[in-house]
Structure 1
């Protein structure tokens, strides 16, 4: 069982996060209160036991959303399909390659600015070009 220690006025701990018999330790520190360290430790242990723990620096946005979708239990099939479609068509192509640690507000803003871009579309029947947003406001709000 990990022990919470106070070093240089801050609390921290070392916890085993390895899987499948491989030992891997994670050192976490910098907590001003012991209760904050205890809470962080409990979250890591719970995530490890439920199988949802990932090293923060290695988990990509794509992996996060794939895990998130798989763990959504009480969704209707149509809702699941819509979520999956929005994630695969709009979120993953824009920010899926980023790690969760590297994902910043500016990436999200850039993604939504792209959704607001006006692009030309050719109408087949009337053979004219119209200009419309890449994604409607309704679709953007669903994302």
Structure 2
């Protein structure tokens, strides 16, 4: 099963098609949570910590844990910036029996939670696809009328 999903993720378009905007991103997240074994949560927030996209297994209901993860994500990337210790846009953490991948693209931040047996190759492919989509979204939000002239 994992090989089929991996092929789908690898062969999928990396750039948006003309059909984009029809819930394609939500559908991608839903399918990832359903098909990547051990993937429990995918969340994307903006600079104000407002949840833009969220997909989770029905059994994953940990609002305080989720909120703490989002706070730590912002803090970690802020610390990296302040300390000038690198320009990493993807962090991987281990917490108990969970693996957590956190990333940023412009003013958007993402958190993925999965268990220790998850296929991290598939998870990282998903992170790359999400980041590509967020780059397009960040580029669109950076466009101002004066830049379009």
Q: TM-score, normalised by structure 1?
A: 0.26
Q: Which has the larger radius of gyration?
A: 1
Given the two structures, how large is their TM-score scaled by the length of structure 2?
Answer: 0.25
